[in-house]
Amino acid sequence: MLKYITPWRVLIALVFLTTAIIVFIRFYGGLGTVTNLSDQTPWGIWVGFDILAGVALAAGGFVMAATVYVFQIKRFKPLVRMAILTAMLGYILFIIGLVVEIGRPWNIFSIFYSPNIHSPLFEVALCVVTYTTVLVLEFSLVVFERLGWNRLVHFHHKVSVVLVVIGILLSTLHQSTLGTLFTLVPHKMHALWYSQIQPVHFFISCVAAGMGMVCFEAFLSYRFTKHPLPTGLMRTLIRVMSYVLVLFFIVRIGDLAVRGELWRVAEGKPAAMFWLENLLFVFIPVVMIYRKLPLTAKRLFIISFSVVLGLVMHRFNIAVSSFEFVKSTGYFPTWTEFMLSIALVMFGFVAAGLAVYFFPMHPKEPKSDRLAGRETYRIAWPVSE
């Protein structure tokens, strides 16, 4: 009995318990009881982190699905399941976070009977609901395999590409539309973060962040299963990601230049924030990839973690800091706000860990794959025919 009690498990249990109490207080006394939100700062860390960053980091699901199923680059197949699993968990966490974040979650079905097609948030809501369903259906393959329902597995292989294509379209739409939300308030956001092509920025950055997250997840999967790290694939993925990161940076600087706001990158605190964000999201990863050092597992970990942190910071700056820079309200999240965000992340880790434990995430692979970690890593688990 005692061997099940580890420091990590105790910590996780404490965090979940505290969060449960916080959520109870929030639903009993209102959002104001556990947050520092106000009429002047209606959106805080729960929007910036749980929602914007959470969705972007779940982009790995559609990026990997597109790579393997549409562009038929089958080498990456070992990474697809984990990517889809984390995307599914990510969206489920996002929905849990959303239910706590919005004031009247019991009216959530309004989006079906009182739609406003002029609202970008309506489009996001609709896409997220549909895409989460698609992800559950995509992931159902793994469940069918686990249960040995072979006819369903067979059927799934036949229709999976349709699911994948729908999933990619839905992702493209809502990932970019989350950026469209912020095109509505040109004068309320700092010019370093406001952009009329925000949807483009959001889409490019989510693709890179999704790749970084897939790489990061591989470490997580390794931690739980001791399954060898597909470092060869991860290296390739990280290299492709670096192109996307550079593209993101160029588009961003170009956009600032076109709008005549480029001088702001050297002005005060916002500029410092801008460069810190780019340091984590673009410079550290790109420089590490292009220095002629071998991309060891440790370096891959640093790179992917840096990208994840950078993305989180970018989204938080969009949702909170950029508004603060224009009209300061002194918003800083309460510890209770941080706690919910931490709990959601932990919940994701635990759920992913359990899924890796119970489901065939790395099926039909040679038991002792001494070649693992090299480009020759080839898997023969069910292909679509």
Residues binding other proteins (CB under 8 A): 27-33, 37-40, 42-43, 66, 69-75, 101-105, 107-108, 110-111, 113-125, 161, 165, 168-169, 172-173, 177, 180-181, 183-188, 196, 199, 323, 327, 378-380, 383
At 331 the three-state DSSP class reads coil
Q: Which is nearer to other proteins, 131 or 281 (CB)?
A: 131
Q: Which is nearer to other proteins, 137 or 309 (CB)?
A: 137
Q: Which is nearer to other proteins, 53 or 181 (CB)?
A: 181
What gap in Å lies between CA 239 and CA 60, rounded to an integer?
A: 15
What gap in Å lies between CA 164 and CA 158, rounded to an integer?
A: 12
Q: Which is nearer to other proteins, 177 or 341 (CB)?
A: 177
Region at 374 (left for phi over 0; alpha for psi -120 to 50; beta for the rest): beta
Name the strand (E) or helix (H) holding 132. helix 120-147
Q: Which is nearer to other proteins, 56 or 68 (CB)?
A: 68
Structure tokens at 320: 């909170």
Query: Considering the complex, what minimum distance in angstroms separates the CB of residue 110 from other proteins?
Result: 4
Query: Considering the complex, what minimum distance in angstroms separates the CB of residue 42 from other proteins?
Result: 4
Question: DSSP readout, 254-304?
Answer: HHHHHTT-GGGGGSHHHHHHHHHHHIIIIIHHHHHHHSSS---HHHHHHHH
DSSP H stretches of helix in the chain: 7-29, 45, 54-57, 60-65, 77-101, 110-113, 120-147, 150-180, 198-225, 231-258, 268-278, 284-290, 297-316, 322-326, 335-358
117 CB neighbour count, 10 Å cutoff? 7
Question: How far is C-alpha 27 from the chain's CA centre?
Answer: 26
Query: Considering the complex, what minimum distance in angstroms separates the CB of residue 168 from other proteins?
Result: 6
| CB contact at 8 A, 84 and 232 | no
Query: Considering the complex, what minimum distance in angstroms separates the CB of residue 288 from other proteins?
Result: 26
What gap in Å lies between CA 81 and CA 77, rounded to an integer?
A: 8
Q: Which is nearer to other proteins, 257 or 375 (CB)?
A: 375
Query: Considering the complex, what minimum distance in angstroms separates the CB of residue 287 from other proteins?
Result: 29
Structure tokens at 373: 């970690």
Q: Which is nearer to other proteins, 38 or 150 (CB)?
A: 38
Query: Considering the complex, what minimum distance in angstroms separates the CB of residue 248 from other proteins?
Result: 18
Q: Which is nearer to other proteins, 151 or 187 (CB)?
A: 187
Q: Which is nearer to other proteins, 15 or 111 (CB)?
A: 111
Query: Considering the complex, what minimum distance in angstroms separates the CB of residue 108 from other proteins?
Result: 6
What gap in Å lies between CA 328 and CA 241, rounded to an integer?
A: 35
Query: Considering the complex, what minimum distance in angstroms separates the CB of residue 130 from other proteins?
Result: 12
What gap in Å lies between CA 215 and CA 303, rounded to an integer?
A: 9
35 CB neighbour count, 10 Å cutoff? 21
Query: Considering the complex, what minimum distance in angstroms separates the CB of residue 104 from other proteins?
Result: 4
Q: Which is nearer to other proteins, 60 or 199 (CB)?
A: 199
- Which amino acid makes up residue 256? L
For residue 136, which of 101, 166, 112 has the smallest C-alpha distance?
166
Query: Considering the complex, what minimum distance in angstroms separates the CB of residue 383 from other proteins?
Result: 6
Tell me the chain's radius of gyration from C-alpha atoms: 21
